[in-house]
A and B are shown apart, each in its own frame.
Chain A
């Protein structure tokens, strides 16, 4: 009898039987896309698993995985699962100090990492992590004189020897697994407080992956680019769970810097990116178009106008007059098609964005040139799976209908609650947190404030705990305001303040790429971020954006009172290395408010300039005090326009 395909290692064996020669993993190495078939992947995973066993790894243990998206690291996850262990992928760009917490929390004894950089960080954390005993590495470069480490090749060789000596052992281990076993532990990004280890079962991730594959008709013929951090739940769903459920091909880029080239070469059919990636792509396109010849610029402007008018409607299957359709077809041949090709999106059937709000212009741009970009909603705790947008009902301001198998309701306080097979098993070693977020009826409290619109799609307003009140009692949703600001290409990051205050003020980070380009075009000389950010011309540019946001807010009922009265452009970029952002680049609101308290006080005290000194940490580990006098500017506010509610 066929064993049930209810754990990832069993799914892997199944693919190796059913489609042994189908490409499972590709990686660009030495300039060439190297391919491993399902049979080869299954064989390699088996060797890693036996190798881990030979080095003493047993059921229930945790295996830390640190590095860029490398095939061997993905395979190591499966190997750990095959032994009944739990892979714990970690954010590869975190500094050693951040490693210590997770390594200790998960009591890591075994770690497999990509290269010298990660080995160094592990060794640096080791004195504080007594459990860490075994480190395996993929890329031997620079590690020749290190002692007490094991190379990947050695691990695999040990594994093959172990396998020979213990025939049938691997199969028996895989057979021991149960679908309720924890399949992976992913750490929350820790927007508030310490990161928590979210434990999800095989059943949960398989349910989420199956639901998604059915919803979007994904199968073995699809292809994805795996380039987002392996520690992030989105990548785990797309590059591991759906990979094993659908049996498609994952492609690992050559390096972090080559992603755009690799994307173009692979031409994935299924693509996922947070809004900032889509934004960067669009910024690049815009900059390059500005450098193009007059005819090309004209063509681009003209046909993008056509696309704006009817592109999204055509893609959504809405009725569009024939003349416009013809127009669009010409544009498709001359502009949209080539543009999709340059972006590496010619073959995309389904593209998703999530993790942050996406700007209306940005969203419309991609849809209007024929890319089926949709939104989804989910958390680490729900396997990134709660709501999805159907192909024929894609909206900008909502995140989709409850996905197959997901029950969703809004509680009295406006918080979004979900229930279904995709929920986490528990937070690791945190029964208190588990009890707090999963109620007696089995609903998970997402912490997001939202509501269902007329068509049944979920609309998210803000994090429930961030929603506050102005002194007047009007609702204050900082994220909502910040997102509106961030939709401007010139603004990279914004932090709004106003809870318990009489009016709203905001910090702004300009976008170096976009504003830098703007400055160059008008011959504005600058030496770096700090210099550029302080230019009066840049302040005018930002003021313009703030004014527009205020004009919009004036139309949004209660939110009209949330217009930004004063703002300043920060002298440094908010940075995860300075703890101002999480690794997934979300603002740590409270931390920023404390760190820059003098600036906030100055804004509300009505001062025009404030001196501040901040500690800045550089990439090479050094840090330095940076002092600056920051100008605080006033923005134009508008009288509230009644009629349309928020």
Chain B
């Protein structure tokens, strides 16, 4: 179970009374929860429960109509996505969003974009700062490649890779940005058992080795319960449960939402 080293940290992200609607459709209603430093926090729920919307609110893609977000002590109505990235938040997407024609290496290099200071002119002629930066960034990227064990596909165009590996490349790109908070949108969707096991191990390793705080959305209950410190359960845009995996598993409302109730 959760040791003091993990999950016991300070609250770094606090969401309070968040409501989000698209016209008449209420995606999220009055949701509050927090994320602590170094923990693995899962958001689960049936299809259409508002999980991805929640993630999009956190990294500034959607602007909630109500509620506040406090990130590292700063209170705001919504997050600005560029600033979010600068503040050390990175994410992956449910439907893989990589540059399919580009190699794995180049895709991961794009994750370093914000870390490059050299101007377009310097970069174009590969001179001075641009060269030093590229080398330093490449080293960081190679560390990520080593970490996720994807050396063998370094030069392969992403479009030619099987789905499970593409997911891993996406995680690599997010890691290349050296995030302190990592948002993973269904990192294990569509994977076979072995690929899921690998991905679980990588997520745990990232959390342990880099101390990265992780918020993940997942469908597969088993996976979530195994690797998360705390779990938020959404259903129809409302929060119906929040706690450790054991607490959530025992929660009547959660059981009803997932397994259905006898009528």
- Contacts from A to B (Cβ < 8 Å): 28-32, 141-142, 144-145, 254-255, 257-258, 261, 618-620
Contact = CB atoms under 8 A, between A and B. Distances in A.
Contact of A619 (B146, B151, B194, B209): B194
Contacts of B155: 261
Contact of B143 (A30, A142, A255, A618): A30
Contact of A620 (B142, B197, B205): B197
B203 to A, nearest CB: 12
Q: Which 3 interchain pairs have the tightest Cβ spacing?
A: A257-B152, A30-B142, A31-B142
B152 A258 contact: yes
Given A142-B208, A620-B194, A30 B146 contact: yes
Interface string B135-163: 00011001101110101101100000000
A334 to B, nearest CB: 25
B193 A261 contact: no
A255 B151 contact: yes
A144 B209 CA distance: 8
A419 B155 CA distance: 50
A359 to B, nearest CB: 27
Nearest to A619: B194
Nearest to B201: A142
Contacts of A29: 146
Interface residues of B, number: 19
A255 B152 contact: yes
Given A31-B151, A142-B208, 8 more contacts: A28-B151, A30-B139, A31-B142, A141-B205, A142-B201, A144-B209, A254-B152, A620-B197
Nearest to B209: A141
Interface core residue of B142, B147, B152, B209 (most chain A CB under 10 Å): B152
Contacts of A142: 201, 205, 208-209
Nearest to B147: A141
A254 B154 CA distance: 12
A504 to B, nearest CB: 38
A258 B193 contact: no
Contacts, number: 39
Contacts of A30: 139, 142-143, 145-146
A254 B152 CA distance: 8
Interface in B187-202: 193-194, 197, 201
Interface core residue of B151, B193, B201 (most chain A CB under 10 Å): B151
19 contacts: A30-B142, A30-B143, A30-B145, A30-B146, A31-B142, A31-B145, A31-B154, A141-B147, A142-B205, A142-B208, A144-B208, A254-B151, A255-B152, A257-B151, A257-B152, A258-B151, A618-B194, A619-B194, A620-B197
Contacts of B152: 254-255, 257-258, 261
Contacts of B201: 142
A7 B30 CA distance: 76
Contacts of B194: 618-620
Contacts of A620: 193-194, 197
A373 B153 CA distance: 29
B169 to A, nearest CB: 15
Contacts of B139: 30
Contacts of B154: 31
A604 B162 CA distance: 43
A144 B100 CA distance: 36
A141 B146 CA distance: 11
Contacts of B209: 141-142, 144
Interface core residue of A28, A31, A142, A618 (most chain B CB under 10 Å): A31
A523 B208 CA distance: 47
B191 to A, nearest CB: 13
Contacts of A619: 194
Nearest to A140: B209
Contacts of A32: 142
Interface core residue of A30, A144, A261, A620 (most chain B CB under 10 Å): A30
Contacts of B193: 620
Contacts of B205: 141-142
B115 to A, nearest CB: 17
A145 B3 CA distance: 11
A31 B145 CA distance: 9
Contacts of A261: 152, 155
A526 to B, nearest CB: 17
Contacts of A28: 151
A261 B152 CA distance: 8
